[in-house]
Chains A and B, each alone.
Chain A
Amino acid sequence: MIVEIGHFALVLAFAAALAQTIMPFWGARLGDIGLMNVGRNAALMQLALIAVAFAALVNAHLTSDFSVLNVAENSNVAMPAIYKISGVWGNHEGSMLLWVLILAIFGALVALFGRELPVKLRADALAVQGLISLAFLAFILLTSNPFERLAPAPFEGRDLNPILQDPGLAIHPPLLYLGYVGFSIVYSFAAAALIEGRIDAAWARFVRPFTLVAWSFLTLGIAAGSFWAYYTLGWGGFWFWDPVENASLMPWLAGTAFVHSVAVMEKRDALKVWTIFLAILAFSFSLLGTFLVRSGVLTSVHAFANDPRRGVFILAILVMFICGSFALFAWRAPMLKQGGLFAPVSREGALVVNNLLLTTACVTVLFGTLYPLALEQLTGEKITVGAPFFNLTCGVLLLTACFAAPFGFSLAWKRGDLLGVVQRLAFAIIIGAVTAIVGAAWLSGAPLFAPLAMGLAIFVIIGTLIEVFTRAWRPGLSAGVALKRTLGLPLSFFGGALAHLGLGVTLLGLSGLGFGAETVATLHKGVPALVGPYSVTLDSVGEQLGPNYKESVASVTVRSGDSVVAQLEPARRQFASRQMTTTQAGLATLDFGQVYVAIADPAPDGSVPARLYWKPLVTLIWLGAAAMAFGGVLSLTDRRLRFGVAVRAKANARPLAQPAE
């Protein structure tokens, strides 16, 4: 019964989305305030209904209701409760439901906090948001119904794929979707601005918090996914340029460009048309990512052709929203009034460079991801575009962007003094160059990426700190005044600084890879195997029973010289329900590096084949990403950007004004 209520709520949500699409739009054309305000209520109603549907599905999974097909295929009684819940979005239907839930959350946020917006803009934005919901709800209801019943109900479910039985599943997809889908708001506002043919700094001010929220979540989501891959795949890789990863990287690159250009628009009223273009682009890439992952086209073109229903549906949604918005853009953008002028050497100019590089990287990823598919369709020839291609092309583009970052951060608005900035950054440049040279000498003969990236990382970190310092302190100022000046700086400045620092830290983590070590060896009891500065010794091998798996566990000791630094228990887990085996790597964090031990199935004689890694600085990759995301959040809490500031300011102003009358 609860399941049917969920299904019904989803149908009602479709109706609410329909109302949200048509009525505010119509109202905006007629200038009817009442009709425009329907959009807000419809958005809230839609969220409530989708929440009911989602709760119903969660309930079915939690109670192991195997009469629901989705539960029977992706759940199991023996599974721990947390995986029963995260299993809700560990499959196609459930993840699409999460997708529309988050879409509705963002729509409701606009409805709730958009009070100071121009009524018409809000109505149009909500209508566009409603249209997106409408399309995806139709997709779920028509092709991917999570509430489909199964009769007779099986006695036991098929179990969730063991790879997904990991806390990573509880964290990664929701974060990623909050990012992906968050860009829909930006898209809706861009479309609304185009419909109105008017756009200004106020638009940017309202859109920016949503952008920052989406971008921060996307950053965290990608980082969480990469860390999950890192510890679960058994060989310590964390980024594979896999099409599915590329699908999440493209919106991130476009979104990062957008975060920068919207700052220009807000501060200087410049780059309007370009910002709108990026807003459309960012969400288009989100949609493209959804299509790539959900249609099966990536696994192979043939898989897509075998079962084209879902793929074609999403493709239709994709084409409708991308083509529709770009057509609107082509028609309306020339009408937008250009604002703020600037010299090429200025912060605006630097942000244009940033945008050019990021967008080019984004398009390169797009080409690399889709080229093999297109070539096979056109000529029948099969090629592979893998990591070496992306490392080369995107590597060059993104490292250049990193190099430009401290310069852009230090340049003044409108017209900058490049020579002055270079002088200020001289210290950072020198330290960075020395690091790179020393690193290259240390690694003599190895590829130059690692030392180069390390030098660059040091340059970015020190360069950013110099700018913070310069803002706070001038020669002759006392420490107290400097502190006061520091505290007086806007939070968005610290947000930006933290994000750039995070970028430097991530880059430093990446550069550490070149200084690592790897050993492939069969571990025998008591015989140490060397990896980098550490040695790993096998102590014992045992068997353990988990709630729904059996595992072979190797106990190993990591030593530095003679002193023990860590005890690890890498394992192989066998899941009977799906006849699958997963690798549980043993990880020891030593400073910022990690010793990584992954084992294969133990041999009968008690020896264990293993891969051992020493990965210096590796944790910095994710710490840096967390810093970037936190920078975004910090920027968000800036007073200027807080939701409803204008309303509260007005409310506070009133009592003061009265006595004067």
Chain B
Amino acid sequence: MTWLRNPFSLGEKVAGETRRMREPRQSHGRASRANPHPNPSPVGEGKKGKLLLVLALLATLAGPALAVQPDEVMKDPALETRARTLSSELRCLVCQNESIDDSEAPLARDIRVLIRERIGKGESNDSVRAYLVSRYGDFILLKPPFKPETLLLWLSPVLVLSLGLGAALFAYRRAPSITPRLSADEEARLAALTGHDVSGPH
């Protein structure tokens, strides 16, 4: 699982682990198995007893080894490609920010198999996605849907960029012009000296 195994998350806390085991919504009774590896981290203070329990539990459960297993792959390459595309857009519910396509968790495997079953029966990717959202909520989508609650999120790049552009323009307008315009008198003298009309903007 990325959150466990990603080198960037060195020494994260064990508290998340214990919580995940208790939380019914995510677990469906199998979250404990979803994580074949005990947490890498230091023991949260005062949690040692709980941690040992977790470790003991986890130790008895063998984990699978790879994300997509050879036996899951569909025979039709076109359908398999569709399944892969779809599963790379869906979140493994018991991991952190990992798609079910990359996850080793059994729950991710179950959803991968479910996707392939439904696609095999002729359902479109959109309808499979809609079904999964109805079951797990928007939480399962790695790309949040565009709706009132996520408006600020999706618009943030545009907002920040226009804010920055506005500020830059404002600062530029306020700063004195880089070369002061010549007065009419000066322009006339310059024209006389060079023999050209130089009244254009700089």
Contact = CB atoms under 8 A, between A and B. Distances in A.
Interface of A: 70, 73-74, 89-93, 95, 161, 163-164, 166, 168-169, 172-173, 225, 228-229, 232-235, 237, 240-245, 247-248, 293, 296, 298-300, 302-303, 306-307, 309, 338, 341-344, 352, 356-357, 359-361, 363-364, 367-368, 371, 375, 379, 381-389, 392-393, 396-397, 414-415, 520-522, 572, 578-581, 583, 598-601, 609-611
A92 B11 contact: yes
Given A74-B42, A352-B168, A368-B153, A341 B37 contact: no
Given A234-B66, A611-B67, A581 B36 contact: yes
A339 to B, nearest CB: 11
B178 A91 contact: no
B89 A388 contact: yes
Contacts of B125: none
Contacts of B38: 578-580
Given A384-B139, A611-B66, A299 B10 contact: no
A164 B8 contact: no
A379 B102 CA distance: 30
Contacts, number: 238
B6 A244 contact: yes
Contacts of B40: 90, 161, 163-164
Contact of B156 (A293, A367, A379, A388): A367
A299 B160 contact: no
Nearest to B169: A344
A579 to B, nearest CB: 4
Nearest to A160: B40
B19 interface: yes
B16 interface: yes
A598 B38 CA distance: 22
Given A244-B6, A368-B153, A91 B65 contact: no
Contacts of A610: 66, 70
Interface string B151-166: 0110011001100110
A70 B11 CA distance: 12
B172 A344 contact: yes
Interface in B28-47: 36-47
B8 A306 contact: no
Nearest to A583: B65
B24 interface: no
B7 A228 contact: yes
Given A244-B6, A611-B66, 15 more contacts: A164-B10, A229-B5, A300-B16, A306-B15, A307-B45, A363-B160, A382-B138, A383-B149, A386-B99, A397-B157, A397-B161, A520-B66, A521-B70, A578-B37, A599-B66
Contacts of B64: 600
Closest 8 CB pairs of A and B: A161-B40, A386-B142, A299-B16, A600-B65, A388-B143, A303-B15, A296-B13, A244-B8
A379 B137 CA distance: 14
Contact of B5 (A172, A233, A363, A522): A233
B15 A307 contact: yes
Nearest to B137: A382
Contacts of A581: 36-37, 63, 65
Contacts of A74: 42
Contacts of A234: 66-67
Interface in B83-107: 89, 91, 96-99, 102
A30 B142 CA distance: 57
B153 A371 contact: yes
23 contacts: A95-B11, A172-B7, A225-B8, A228-B7, A233-B5, A306-B44, A307-B44, A338-B175, A341-B175, A363-B156, A371-B150, A381-B137, A382-B139, A383-B149, A386-B143, A388-B142, A522-B70, A572-B65, A579-B58, A581-B36, A600-B65, A600-B69, A609-B66
Contact of A383 (B89, B150, B172): B150
B115 interface: no
A242 B2 contact: yes
Contacts of A598: 66
A391 B5 CA distance: 22
A93 B72 CA distance: 43
Nearest to B73: A520
Contacts of A384: 91, 97, 138-142, 144
B162 to A, nearest CB: 9
Given A92-B42, A229-B6, A341-B175, A383 B102 contact: no
B176 interface: yes
Given A74-B42, A384-B141, A609 B65 contact: yes
Contacts of A244: 3, 6, 8-9, 12
A571 to B, nearest CB: 11
A168 B153 contact: no
A227 to B, nearest CB: 9
B4 interface: yes
A554 B177 CA distance: 71
A562 B44 CA distance: 55
B179 to A, nearest CB: 9
A233 B98 CA distance: 12
A237 B96 CA distance: 15
Contact of A233 (B2, B18, B70): B2
A615 B192 CA distance: 68
A342 B149 CA distance: 42
A364 B157 contact: yes
B160 A360 contact: yes
A169 to B, nearest CB: 7
Interface in B128-146: 137-144
B113 interface: no
A396 B9 CA distance: 27
B69 A609 contact: yes
Contacts of A247: 8
A303 B16 contact: yes
B5 to A, nearest CB: 5
Contacts of B153: 367-368, 371, 385, 389
B19 A235 contact: no
B11 A296 contact: no
B12 A293 contact: yes
Contacts of B175: 338, 341
A387 B2 CA distance: 13
A594 B81 CA distance: 22
B111 interface: no
A344 B18 CA distance: 56
A387 B71 CA distance: 27
Contacts of A245: 6, 8
Contacts of B141: 383-384
B59 interface: yes
A168 B15 contact: no
Contact of B59 (A89, A352, A579, A609): A579
Nearest to B4: A163
